[in-house]
Structure 1
Amino acid sequence: MRVISKLLGATLALAALAGPAAAATEWVMATGYPDSNFFTKNIKMFIDDVEKKSRGDLKITLHSNDTLIKHDNIKRAVQAGQIQIGEVRLGVYGNEDPMYILSGVPFVASTYDEAWTLKNEQKPYFDKLFSKNGMRVLYYGPWPGQGFYTKTPVATVDDFKGKKLRIYSTATQKMGEMLGFQATILPFAEVPQAFSTGLIEALFTSPQTGIDVQAWDNTKYFTMAGAIYSKNAVIVNERAWRQLPAPVQEAVGAAATAAEKRAWEMSAATTDEQMKILAGNGMTVQNAPAPIIAKMKEIGKVMVEDWKKTASPEAIAVLDAYYAKQK
């Protein structure tokens, strides 16, 4: 018994010297989209991957669908350290820097391949922009091509005139106005109420968003234009990032690389399926007629020149580098 007591005492003494096991770091994350959205599904896979790759040293709790912080306030919450990590839609912040809305200019990048190339050219600029404000981007994900949700059929641009359109960025607002719409920027979560009060009667957005807001309750036609592949970004507070041990940072980086690749694949794979869902809920789905595409390309050229007037030489250099790779 004395031997057992001595061994037990020695074990307890060693445990006391070693101290308690290090607790896992816990982060809080917010996104404005519901769990059914492919962006949110991808985030959940990213979170699982982070925990696995970090061997449980970093745990992230996700609050989706505006349940913690309204979507347009997430960037500010991450910057202030209110939450450590969040998902933002870059086009919302065009008033802060023109680079945020470049991918929202019609036909600047109108395919996934072009959007990927543009993303790579923009990345160093965004790295500096977010770093200056105490944040960093972990990865980017693209929205599918965009289209018009309307109550009446669409054949020419004249069918848009005077219609009250909900859009999501300053770039798409300008495009909508040039097409003849009365365009209003509204957060995603306010769309159903805006329809019910008559504030809007049409949308310009992706098939995914149309499903998220059940657009078939308020519109009957979806006219796919492509034209724009805008981006979301998952961002992290820089101070929270620096507090992570190097191996955990590496784990998060590896998970982010995988999540970015998966985001682009998921976006492309879901577009056809989503258009079938719209049709299955009674909507008439079509590709935009040639006159509308021609007008949107014309508008895109004007908007690029207007964009250049507000952009810095560094931002214009990004666009020039992108165009050079498209030749």
Structure 2
Amino acid sequence: MFANRKFLAAGAAALALGLSAAAAQAQTWIMASGYPEDNFLTQNIRLFIEEVEANTDLTIDLQSNDTLIKLDAIKTAVQRGQVPMGEIRLGVYGNEDPMYILAGVPFIAPTYEDAWRLKEAQKPYFAEKLEAAGLMVLFYQPWPGQGFYTKTPVETLADFEGKKLRIYSTATQKMGEMLGFQATILPFAEIPQAFSTGLIEALFTSPQTGIDIQAWDNTDYFTYAGAIYSKNAVIVNKAMFDGLPEDARTAILNAASLAEERAWKMSAETTEAQIGILAQNGMTTTDAPEAIMARMREIGKTMVEDWRATASPEAIAVLDAYLAQ
């Protein structure tokens, strides 16, 4: 009987350890994002989450559209471990390192192919930079090409003079000012209120963002320029990621690799359709006149040289390696 009791006790202990291990592996993580559910970036994250959950014991609760944490605060929240994962817009952090705004320089990467090559060149730099902050990038997502949302037609550079423009990064602020705008950096979620209070009267952003904020409520014209394919990054707290079982880490990285490739395809495929949605909602959509495109190319060249003047030798080496391709 004594032996049986010892056997039962040992069995119970083993069962408890097994249950404890299972509980440790079956986790729920909260992820913060700043964009609506019908945004293709969010849809791609949803597909990523589905694949992770199908191949691990990890559940990811995505809180989108700034409902949990404001977009500009997500990086800090993940760094501090308030949430394990989040999506950030790299251009927000140009004050920390010029590398974050390089993709925002007009015509530095004027096609999706160029944007992919630039991303590949930047990856090791960002990996080292973010690891020092306790973070890791899982995958990058590109925004579509950009355009001007205005209340009046855009025919010459004079149509920009003095207009109050919302932009999203220090790089696009500089571009806007060189085009003649009064440019103001504002978070995505503040755009509708800024229009209603007169703080802004125009936007430079993607067709996707125009749909997200229903730009037709405040502007009548969308003038497509392309020019910039900036990026978001899906990041994870490095210590929390390293604390997962090896098979879970592998599954997440595999899902992330697929998500990154899918993001480039989704971005390219949605641009034309999204411009069509703007037109369906009453906006006049056109391509930017050549005079404006020529000026933006000139601005891009100037901004590259200005960027070099502020960047570290290591960052400049990344740019030179990309340009050498």
Alignment TM class, shorter chain as reference: over 0.9
**Matches of residues 3-42 of structure 1 in structure 2 within 5 Å?**
14=11, 16-19=13-16, 20-21=18-19, 22-23=22-23, 24-42=26-44
1:15: how far off?
Answer: 5.1
DSSP 3-state at the match of 1:153: coil
Q: Which residue of 1 aligns with 2:267?
A: 267
Residues 181-200 of structure 1 aligned to structure 2 (within 5 Å): 181-200=181-200
TM-score normalised over the length of structure 2: 0.95
Corresponding residue for residue 151 of structure 2: 151
Does the 8 Å CA contact 1:53/1:255 hold for their aligned counterparts? Answer: no
Q: Which residue of 1 aligns with 2:118?
A: 118
Kindly indicate whether the alpha-carbon contact (under 8 Å) linking 1:145 and 1:227 is maintained by their aligned counterparts in 2. Answer: yes
- SS state at 1:108 partner: coil
Structure 1 residues 173-221: Cα deviation after superposition (integer angstroms, max 9, x where no partner): 0000000000000000000000000000000000000000000000000
Paired with 2:239 and 2:300, the residues of 1 have a C-alpha distance of 39
One-letter identity of the residue aligned with 1:39: L
Partner of 2:284: 284
* Deviant stretches of 4+, over 2 Å: 9-18
CA shift at 1:251, angstroms?
Answer: 0.6
Alignment-mate amino acid for residue 186 of structure 1: L
How much has 1:17 moved relative to structure 2? 2.5
Give, in angstroms, the shift of residue 53 of structure 1: 1.7
For 2:283 and 2:12, the matched residues in 1 are separated by 66
SS at match of 2:108: coil
Task: After superposition, give the CA deviation of every residue in 1:116-157 in whole Å (9 maximum; x if it has no partner).
Answer: 000000000000000010000000010000000000000111
Secondary structure in structure 2 of the residue aligned to 1:285: strand
Measured in 1, the distance between the counterparts of 2:242 and 2:28 equals 14
Distance 1:43 1:86 in 2: 10
Residue 14 (structure 1) shift: 3.4
- For the 8 Å contact 1:207–1:275, the answer to whether it is kept is yes
1:113 partner SS: helix
Give me the whole-angstrom Cα distance separating, in 2, the residues matched to 1:83 and 1:105. Answer: 31
SS at match of 2:152: coil
How far did residue 59 of structure 1 move? 1.0
Equivalent residue number for residue 95 of structure 2: 95
The answer for the alignment partner of 2:255 in structure 1 is 255
Q: Kindly state the Cα deviation for residue 273 of structure 1 after the two structures are TM-superposed.
A: 0.5
Q: For residues 148-172 of structure 1, what are the alpha-carbon distances to aligned partners after superposition, in whole Å with 9 as ceiling and x for unaligned?
A: 0000000111100000000000000
Deviation at 1:31, TM superposition (A): 0.2
- Compute the TM-score of the two structures, normalised by the length of structure 1: 0.94
CA deviation after TM superposition for structure 1 residue 12, in Å: 9.2
Total equivalences in the alignment: 316
Q: What corresponds to 2:229 in structure 1?
A: 229
Q: Counterpart amino acid of 1:118?
A: L
**Structure 1 alignment gaps of length 5 or more:** 1-6
Residue 86 (structure 2) aligns with: 86
Amino acid aligned to 1:46: F
AA in 2 matched with 1:33: Y
Deviation at 1:301, TM superposition (A): 0.3
Tell whether the 8 Å contact from 1:191 to 1:213 is kept in structure 2 after alignment.
yes
Q: Which amino acid aligns with 2:65?
A: N
Aligned to 2:304: 304
User: Partner of 1:314: helix, strand, or coil?
Assistant: helix
Post-superposition offset of 1:242: 1.1
Aligned in 2, Cα 1:73/1:284: closer, same or farther, shift over 3 Å?
Answer: same
Correspondence for 1:44: 46
One-letter code aligned to 1:132: A
Partner of 1:286, secondary structure, is strand
CA contact (8 A) 1:30 1:68 kept: yes
